């Protein structure tokens, strides 16, 4: 049975519906009808009804989706096209039709290299046993060392005993996003064993992809984590509210870029705001589109037209324009990927949330 | 004239020429796009898709981002006599965006640059391919709006509304899309670029804007538009009533419009729609004819207008539902058009909107209903009156077959017959074939019935501006070449 058949209601609803066109991230980058949920619905309907087989051309449209979930947020019917896309990618990968670029990312992950294709060293772990585990996730492990440094500095300041897995393995989230669900499940099982071995009772994660993976994917694989999972923003909020760390004030206007995988898919909106407001006070300013309706940050924008690294930049330039519009001097992101996608946005200082707190800690 | 068939070296030659104009990344011959551009919001291609039938699809889809590119594409199309169909959002319900004869689909969504927002003159100068909600999002930053906000604002383009003579939910106060045009830039089918006069109220001959308003991409491609803006109101208030009969509801709407008040919204639902859609979407469980009206502007003025309007409702013995059910409609006004709230296959359904003078509009409603129900046992007929003018009102009538024939040919035949009986009932009783949505393929056959001898003027105009008949063939009753 095809995985997409599990999302048949969404498929049949989306195939003729253009009502989320105005918010679709990939569609409003390429403007191709095949890059909107309606176009993808038509394609997948043909596949489901066995009128055609996947071709590399059709596969491209399915992988152009950045899974931001804005279509779902704006759907009065509550349909979830991002779930349909994930299920179709699983079907595609099982047929051996995954795009070359996706296979390269998979190969990098499986060989313990940077999935984003850059030459970089993995962040070193502590190796010791501890109740409290900091889990970086695939992005920060390779490409976001300053973020990890900030987290560690804050934990030390808070007097927190912690551990980091030595040679931190992947959580499998990127594999799952690219359709390699079986491999993702195996990675998750291996990781669970590592969590158990280290004795983790509380796991604090930086990457929203990892948070979503531990919270939602693991139960889907039948894995009971037996540990409390927190996003770093939730941990920081706890530290500030319990007085474990004290933060200073900034005079600049600060805004928050909500995360699709943390906010839209897991409802975490309050904690990041609380800690930013602790620093920024009344100079915190919401983005024009925020919360449920926030713009995509490109956390899962791995491929576009079979190329890597392209879509994130396009998403970043839209974000930059939006931050500039509200005249914020500082933009705080909830993921390393969002920070990278924003890139060098003129006149704006960009921090991942741990970096922002560490910069302003007393 | 027909699309250039693949494989042939001419296919590649034309592809090269198109790519030379817009760049290779802006010409698609991909299977994925052909699938997506072979179905618009018309019920027939949806049916055809659902039944696995072969659909007409384009050979090339091009994405120009500048007027000169559109001009050059048209020159190439003329050279090789290739049909060109313009695609905005593909959200039209009449089949107007379908490449029936193959050829080129020219997607206008990249013509989306906003050139100027002039808050002194209250105009916006923008690329015509912009998705309307994107324009509205930008305008909202300045506290202004076009006030053209139909449900399709999420998915349709500005030019799409102009060429189909769109009507928004606030049209009763602010007019239809066609009333908001200051000037336009248009690429003619031959590739020439023309501009209409800088302002519209000149007495120097016919208004050129009106040649292209409602032309459905048959006479030219609108590439840039200057349109009027309005300030967002200080307050927006709503009030709902239930009327026991249609005549009282219609009289309420008429008096709201003609007695010097300035309602932005008047929507009167028939009994069937009140019991159906209104209950389902808004949760208002009432028998009768649900009417909601809206007033907007300065708070003190609206306070006074609200009292006057409310008194009319009382005089006509409407049951006061209060402000909240009205506000509820406003907050959920687009919800009606999302699945699962909208009609969808396997149902067969059509919106046979029409407009007529106040003296005729009720008669038309009953005539259309009777025509539909006497012809088909299995048809449902519902309607609401949602756009009101000084002289008359628009009926947004709909027919629904919940269980149409499985065979697509039979289903299409039944569907067309339903159109025949409803549209002809409107024409016979003082109405017209539509009020908005345009003509497209769906209503083409009725154009001559409505215009009679004067249709030759439209036909002659088409022959003059498009001598090779390449722009959007088969649409609007203009046939092919």
Going by their DSSP bridges, the two strands B230-231 and B289-297 should be labelled as unpaired
B350 pairs with which residues across the strands?
B399
Q: Is B170 on the interface with A (CB under 8 A)?
A: no
CA quadruple B363, B369, B372, B374: dihedral sign: negative
Mean pLDDT of the B345-357 span: 97
- Residues B227, B251: one domain? no
Which chain A residue has its CA at the smallest distance from B132's CA?
Answer: A22
Contact B179, B227 (CB under 8 A): no
Q: Which of B35, B332, B345 is nearest residue A34 as measured by Cβ atoms?
A: B35
Q: Which residues contact B376 (CB under 8 A, 6 or more apart)?
A: B401, B414, B417, B418
Q: Does pLDDT of B271 surpass 70?
A: yes
- Say how far apart CA B449 and CA B431 lie, in whole Å: 12
- Residues B331, B241: one domain? yes
- The domain boundary residue, chosen from B57, B87, B108: B108
pLDDT (0 to 100) of residue B396: 97
Say how many C-beta atoms besides its own lie within 10 A of residue A289's C-beta. 15
For chain B, give the percent of residues with pLDDT over 70: 98
B235 pairs with which residues across the strands?
B297
Residue that has been written with the tokens 């009289």 in this structure: B251
Which chain B residue has its CA at the smallest distance from A59's CA?
Answer: B32
A261 CB burial (10 A radius; 0-12, 13-18, 19+): buried
User: Could you tell me the CATH number of the domain that includes residue B280?
Assistant: 3.30.70.3450
The answer to whether the CB atoms of B134 and A13 lie below 8 A apart is no
pLDDT (0 to 100) of residue A120: 78
Contact A80, A67 (CB under 8 A): no
The answer to whether the CB atoms of A18 and B341 lie below 8 A apart is no
What CATH number is given for A246-359 in this structure?
3.40.50
Contact A147, A206 (CB under 8 A): yes
Which chain B residue has its CA at the smallest distance from A37's CA?
Answer: B36
Rounded to 5 degrees, φ, ψ at B443 are -105, 10
pLDDT (0 to 100) of residue A155: 96
Give a yes or no: residue B74 inside a domain: yes
The answer to whether the CB atoms of B35 and A39 lie below 8 A apart is yes
- Split at pLDDT 50, 70, 90, the class of B282 is confident
The distance of B469 to chain A (nearest Cα, Å) reads 26
Contact B437, B94 (CB under 8 A): yes
A132-238: in CATH 3.40.50.1860? yes
CA quadruple B400, B402, B403, B409: dihedral sign: positive
The distance of B342 to chain A (nearest Cα, Å) reads 10
- Say how far apart CA B37 and CA B288 lie, in whole Å: 42
- Residues B241, B221: one domain? no
The distance of B29 to chain A (nearest Cα, Å) reads 10
The distance of A21 to chain B (nearest Cα, Å) reads 5
The answer to whether the CB atoms of A33 and B37 lie below 8 A apart is yes
Give a yes or no: residue B342 inside a domain: no
Q: Which of A21, A22, A51 is nearest residue B52 as measured by Cβ atoms?
A: A51
The structure tokens listed for B87 are: 């695609």
Q: Does pLDDT of A5 surpass 90?
A: yes
> What is the rounded average pLDDT for all residues in chain B?
96
- Residues B167, B249: one domain? no
The structure tokens listed for B9 are: 């070296």
pLDDT (0 to 100) of residue B2: 61
Give a yes or no: residue B1 inside a domain: no
- Residues B266, B310: one domain? yes
Instruction: Give pTM, 2 decimals.
Output: 0.96
The distance of A304 to chain B (nearest Cα, Å) reads 13
Q: Is B17 on the interface with A (CB under 8 A)?
A: no
The distance of A22 to chain B (nearest Cα, Å) reads 5
> What is the rounded average pLDDT for all residues in chain A?
95
Model confidence pLDDT, tens digit, residues A134-173? 999 999 999 999 999 999 999 999 999 999 999 999 999 9
The answer to whether the CB atoms of A46 and B131 lie below 8 A apart is no
Q: Number of structural domains, chain B?
A: 4
- Residues B273, B382: one domain? no
Mean pLDDT of the B161-186 span: 97
B61 CB burial (10 A radius; 0-12, 13-18, 19+): buried
- Residues B124, B214: one domain? yes
Give a yes or no: residue B29 inside a domain: yes
The structure tokens listed for B6 are: 């693949």
Q: Does pLDDT of B280 surpass 90?
A: no
pLDDT (0 to 100) of residue B47: 98
- Which of A77, A68, A56, A130 is closest to A305 using CA atoms? A56
The distance of A98 to chain B (nearest Cα, Å) reads 16
pLDDT (0 to 100) of residue A314: 94
Contact A157, A361 (CB under 8 A): yes
- Say how far apart CA A38 and CA B97 lie, in whole Å: 15
- Say how far apart CA B243 and CA B250 lie, in whole Å: 9
Contact A327, A283 (CB under 8 A): no
Q: Which of B39, B46, B52 is nearest residue A49 as measured by Cβ atoms?
A: B52
3-state SS, chain B, equals CCCCCCCCHHHHHHHHHHHHHHCHHHEECCHHHHHHCCCCCCHHHHHHHHCCCCCCCCCEEECCCCHHHHHHHHHHHHHHCCCEEEECCCCCCCCCCCCCCCCEEEECCCCCCEEEEECCCCEEEEECCCEHHHHHHHHHCCCEECCCCCHHHHCCEHHHHHHCCCCCCCHHHHCCHHHHEEEEEEECCCCCEEECCCCCCCCCCCCCHHHHCCCCCCCCEEEEEEEECEECCCEEEEEEEEECCHHHHHHHHHHHHHCCCCCCEEEEECHHHHHHHHHHHHCCCCCCEEEEEEEEECHHHHHHHHHHHHHHHHHCCCEEEECHHHHHHHHCCCHHHCCCCCCCCCCEEEECCEEEEHHHHHHHHHHHHHHHHHHCCCEEEEEEEEEECCCEEEEEEEEEECCCCCCHHHHHHHHHHHHHHHHHHHHHCCCCCCCCCCCCCCCHHHHHHHHHHHHHHHHHHHHHHCCCCCECCCHHHCCCC
B272 CB burial (10 A radius; 0-12, 13-18, 19+): middle
Give a yes or no: residue B303 inside a domain: yes
Mean pLDDT of the A26-55 span: 98
The answer to whether the CB atoms of B39 and A16 lie below 8 A apart is yes
User: Could you tell me the CATH number of the domain that includes residue B77?
Assistant: 3.30.43.10
Say how many C-beta atoms besides its own lie within 10 A of residue A133's C-beta. 25
Model confidence pLDDT, tens digit, residues A173-224? 999 999 999 999 999 999 999 999 999 999 999 999 999 999 999 999 999 9
User: Which residues in chain A are closer than 8 Å to B110, comparing Cβ atoms?
Assistant: 31
Give a yes or no: residue B455 inside a domain: no
Residue that has been written with the tokens 């799409």 in this structure: B160
The answer to whether the CB atoms of B109 and A31 lie below 8 A apart is yes
Give the three-state DSSP class for A93.
helix
pLDDT (0 to 100) of residue A343: 87
pLDDT (0 to 100) of residue A189: 97
User: Which residues in chain A are closer than 8 Å to B345, comparing Cβ atoms?
Assistant: 16
Contact B93, B480 (CB under 8 A): no
pLDDT (0 to 100) of residue B326: 85
Give a yes or no: residue B280 inside a domain: yes
On the CB side of A178, CA atoms within 13 Å amount to: 27
Task: State CA B458 to chain mean position distance.
Answer: 20
Which chain A residue has its CA at the smallest distance from B44's CA?
Answer: A16
Q: What is the CA radius of gyration of chain B?
A: 23
On the CB side of A41, CA atoms within 13 Å amount to: 28
Q: Which of A45-59, B6-20, B76-90, B367-381 has the lowest mean pLDDT?
A: B6-20
The answer to whether the CB atoms of B36 and A45 lie below 8 A apart is no
- The domain boundary residue, chosen from B214, B231, B248: B231
- Best mutation target among B99, B136, B338 (most A Cβ atoms within 10 Å) is B338
pLDDT (0 to 100) of residue B97: 96
Q: Is B155 on the interface with A (CB under 8 A)?
A: yes
Mean pLDDT of the B297-308 span: 97
Alpha helices (H) along A231-303:
232-241, 270-280
- Say how far apart CA B225 and CA B128 lie, in whole Å: 6
Give the three-state DSSP class for A99.
coil
On the CB side of B131, CA atoms within 13 Å amount to: 23
Model confidence pLDDT, tens digit, residues A106-134? 999 999 989 887 877 888 888 788 899 99
- Residues B188, B246: one domain? no
Q: Does pLDDT of B1 surpass 60?
A: no
Give a yes or no: residue B452 inside a domain: no
Mean pLDDT of the B15-22 span: 98
- Residues B227, B241: one domain? no
- Say how far apart CA B399 and CA B249 lie, in whole Å: 21
- Segments of chain A assigned to CATH 3.40.50.1860: 132-238
Say how many C-beta atoms besides its own lie within 10 A of residue A150's C-beta. 23
Say how many C-beta atoms besides its own lie within 10 A of residue B137's C-beta. 13
Q: Is B54 on the interface with A (CB under 8 A)?
A: no
Name the DSSP class of A169.
P
- Best mutation target among B27, B28, B29, B35 (most A Cβ atoms within 10 Å) is B35
- Residues B258, B156: one domain? no
Q: In what order do the strands lie in the sheet with A330-333?
A: A254-256, A330-333, A349-352
User: Could you tell me the CATH number of the domain that includes residue B365?
Assistant: 3.30.300.330
Containing structural domain, residue B304: 235-337
User: Which residues in chain B are closer than 8 Å to A76, comparing Cβ atoms?
Assistant: 332, 334-335, 338, 341
């Amino acid at each position: 049975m095809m995985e997409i058949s599990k999302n048949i209601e969404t498929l049949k609803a989306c195939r003729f519906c253009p009502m989320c066109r105005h918010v679709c991230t990939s569609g409003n980058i390429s403007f191709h009808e095949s890059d909107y949920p309606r176009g993808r619905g038509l394609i997948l309907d043909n596949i489901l009804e066995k009128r055609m087989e996947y071709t590399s051309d059709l596969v491209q449209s399915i992988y152009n989706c950045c899974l931001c979930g804005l279509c779902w947020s704006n759907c009065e019917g509550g349909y979830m096209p991002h779930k349909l896309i994930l299920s179709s990618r699983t079907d595609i990968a099982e047929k051996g039709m995954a795009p070359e670029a996706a296979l390269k990312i998979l190969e990098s992950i499986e060989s313990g290299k940077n999935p984003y294709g850059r030459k970089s060293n993995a962040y070193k772990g502590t190796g010791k046993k501890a109740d409290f585990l900091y889990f970086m996730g695939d992005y920060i492990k390779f490409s976001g060392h300053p973020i990890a440094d900030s987290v560690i500095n804050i934990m030390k300041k808070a007097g927190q005993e912690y551990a980091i897995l030595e040679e931190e393995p992947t959580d499998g989230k990127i594999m799952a996003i690219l359709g390699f669900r079986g491999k993702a499940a195996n990675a998750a099982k291996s990781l669970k064993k590592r969590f158990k071995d280290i004795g983790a009772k509380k796991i604090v994660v930086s990457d929203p992809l990892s948070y979503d993976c531990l919270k939602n994917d693991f139960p889907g694989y039948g894995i009971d984590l037996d540990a409390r999972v927190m996003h770093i923003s939730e941990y920081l909020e706890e530290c500030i509210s319990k007085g474990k760390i004290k933060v200073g004030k900034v005079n600049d206007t600060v805004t928050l870029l909500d995360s699709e995988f943390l906010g839209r898919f897991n409802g975490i909106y309050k904690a990041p705001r609380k800690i930013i407001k602790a620093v920024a006070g009344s100079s915190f300013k919401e983005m024009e589109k925020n919360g449920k309706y926030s713009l995509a940050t490109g956390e899962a924008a791995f491929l576009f037209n079979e190329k890597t690294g392209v879509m994130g930049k396009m998403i970043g330039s839209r974000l930059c324009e939006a931050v500039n519009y509200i005249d914020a001097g500082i933009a705080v992101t909830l993921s390393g990927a969002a920070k990278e996608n924003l890139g060098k946005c003129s006149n704006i200082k960009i921090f991942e949330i741990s970096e922002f707190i560490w910069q302003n800690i007393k | 004239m027909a699309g250039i068939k693949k494989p042939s070296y001419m296919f590649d030659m034309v592809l090269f020429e198109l790519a030379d104009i817009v760049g290779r990344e802006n010409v698609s011959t991909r299977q994925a796009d052909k699938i997506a551009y072979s179905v618009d919001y018309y019920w027939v291609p949806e049916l055809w898709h659902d039944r696995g039938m072969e659909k007409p699809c384009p050979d090339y889809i091009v994405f120009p981002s500048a007027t000169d590119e559109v001009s050059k594409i048209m020159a190439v199309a003329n050279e090789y006599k290739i049909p060109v169909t313009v695609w905005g959002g593909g959200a039209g319900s009449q089949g107007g965006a379908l490449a029936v004869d193959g050829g080129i689909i020219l997607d206008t969504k990249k013509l989306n640059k906003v050139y100027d927002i002039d808050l002194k003159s209250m105009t916006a100068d923008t690329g015509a391919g912009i998705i309307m909600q994107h324009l509205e999002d930008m305008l909202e930053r300045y506290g202004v709006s076009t006030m053209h906000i139909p449900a399709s604002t999420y998915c349709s383009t500005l030019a799409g509304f102009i060429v189909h003579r769109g009507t928004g939910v606030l049209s009763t106060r602010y007019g239809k899309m066609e009333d908001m045009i200051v000037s336009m830039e248009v690429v003619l089918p031959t590739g020439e670029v023309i501009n209409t006069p800088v302002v519209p109220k000149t007495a120097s001959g016919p208004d050129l804007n009106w040649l292209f308003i409602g032309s459905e991409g048959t006479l030219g491609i609108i590439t840039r538009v200057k349109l009027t803006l309005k300030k967002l109101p200080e307050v927006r208030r709503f009030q709902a009533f239930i009327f026991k009969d249609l005549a009282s509801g219609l009289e309420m709407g008429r008096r709201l419009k003609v007695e010097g008040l300035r309602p932005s919204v008047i929507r009167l639902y028939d009994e069937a729609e009140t019991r159906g859609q209104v209950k389902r979407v808004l949760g208002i469980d009432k028998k009768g004819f649900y009417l909601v009206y809206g007033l907007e502007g300065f708070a003190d003025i609206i306070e006074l207008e609200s009292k006057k309007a409310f008194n009319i409702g009382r005089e006509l013995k409407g049951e006061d539902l209060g402000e909240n059910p009205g506000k509820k409609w406003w907050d959920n006004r687009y919800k009606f058009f999302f699945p699962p709230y909208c009609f969808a296959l396997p149902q067969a359904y059509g919106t046979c909107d029409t407009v007529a003078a106040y003296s005729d509009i009720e008669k038309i409603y009953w005539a259309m209903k009777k025509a539909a129900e006497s012809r088909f046992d299995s048809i449902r007929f519902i309607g609401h009156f949602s756009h009101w003018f000084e002289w008359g009102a628009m009926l947004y009538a709909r027919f629904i077959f919940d269980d149409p024939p499985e065979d697509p040919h039979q289903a299409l035949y039944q569907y067309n017959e339903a159109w025949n009986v409803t549209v002809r009932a409107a024409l016979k009783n003082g109405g017209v074939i539509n009020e908005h949505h345009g003509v497209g393929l769906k209503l083409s056959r009725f154009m001559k019935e409505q215009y009679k001898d004067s249709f030759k003027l439209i036909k002659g105009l088409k022959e003059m501006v498009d001598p090779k008949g390449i722009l959007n063939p088969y649409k609007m009753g203009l046939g092919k070449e």
